[in-house]
Structure 1
């Protein structure tokens, strides 16, 4: 298995913290809840190979996606997804990272944010959560995978997703009941 290392510059980019608001996560320089998808698209479309796949079903806002985002220092990162709310504010950023980078990234996150949960074994499923002033941060992976998902999301994103998931479950339940 190929080991991947992440440069210090990439770590600084990925885990930027504002000097004026300690503990504020700025994934890839994106100020969650403030930076808009329009601003990100204008600034990073070419560099990150961003496309707009449409409107998110759960946030009712635009999405930006790249399968190969070409982020300096994170050359092995894939599947960048940025989701905005209906006011075009960024509320979710996720990225697929090599599983071999998880321990290094988790250590950096431990040093910057409050750890809520941390179970990241080399064998088995892994899950970790941190909290920042403006976002929840998580790493998830399954045992048989060579990749992990690193995600940042605002409280608004969590509420919107939960509401959407409940509505979908209710709709499914009603559909099943109508079949009887």
Structure 2
């Protein structure tokens, strides 16, 4: 009876440690600003961290069992399916980008790291919302383009100024002015 009690007590303590470990792990995952998730072999959400609510507008419970392809932007579904094939074929990804629909219908850009482990049909993923980063990068490109245009205009004005100050032939100076106006 004593051995049975000790074995039962050891089993109960082991189960309690496991439950505590699982609780601690879930709390840690839920603290992440990134979406930490897993998909089964059919592409359905198995797990989702609490950040899914902030990133996608869906609670983890709303995502579990749902096919992830339903949330992928239609223009990104083909490339996402190809990336899925690579990952399930054993090639992990560390910076795959695609668009997802949030629950409210708006679009969010995600950057994924994903892997399928040998002998395990599930895919384990971390996704970061890069919407603001991409928007900022696009704005920087637009501003740079505008600055380059202004530099070209200033260079043209400088050339005209030099032509006038150097006493260049008036017809050549006029042609330079007209060429500059056409470019502007």
TM surpasses 0.5: no
Q: Greater relative contact order (Cα 8 A, min sep 6): structure 1 or 2?
A: 1
Larger radius of gyration: 2
TM-score, with length taken from structure 1: 0.30
Normalized per residue, which structure has more strand?
Answer: 1
TM-score, with length taken from structure 2: 0.30
Normalized per residue, which structure has more helix?
Answer: 2
